[in-house]
Chains A and B, each alone.
Chain A
Amino acid sequence: MANKLRTGAMTRAGGKWACGLLALLLSGGVAQAQDLSLENARISLLPGDMPGAGYFSLQNDGAEDVTLVGAQSDAFENTEIHMSMEKDGMASMHAVPEIDIAAGQRFEFAPKGYHLMFMHRAAPLEVGDDVEVVLHFADGQQLPATFEVVSPTAMH
Chain B
Amino acid sequence: MLKWLSPIILSALLAGCEDPNWHTSDISDIMPDLDLSLVDENGEQVEEDAYTGKTTLLYFGYTHCPDVCPTSLARMTAAIKKLDESARDDIQVLFVSVDPERDTPARLRQYTDVFGPQFIGLTGNTEQLDELTNRYRVSYGYGDKDANGNYDVSHSSGIFVFNAQGDARLLMRNSDPIPSMVSDLKRLMARG
Contacts and interface: CB of A to CB of B under 8 A. Distances in A.
Asked if chains A and B come from one complex, the reply is yes
Interface string B103-129: 000010011011110000000000000
Interface of A: 44, 46-48, 50-53, 78, 82, 84, 86, 89-95, 111-113, 115, 117-119, 151-156
Contact of B113 (A47, A53, A93): A47
Interface of B: 63-71, 73-75, 77-78, 107, 110-111, 113-116, 138-139, 143, 146, 148, 150, 152, 154-158, 173-174, 178
Contact of B155 (A82, A90, A118): A90
Nearest to B77: A153
B154 A92 contact: yes
B4 to A, nearest CB: 33
A156 B66 contact: no
Given A112-B174, A153-B114, A91 B156 contact: yes
Contact of B70 (A44, A90, A92, A93): A44
8 contacts: A46-B111, A47-B114, A91-B156, A92-B152, A111-B71, A117-B66, A153-B114, A156-B74
B67 A115 contact: yes
Nearest to B65: A93
A47 B67 contact: no
Contacts of B114: 46-47, 151-153
B64 A50 contact: yes
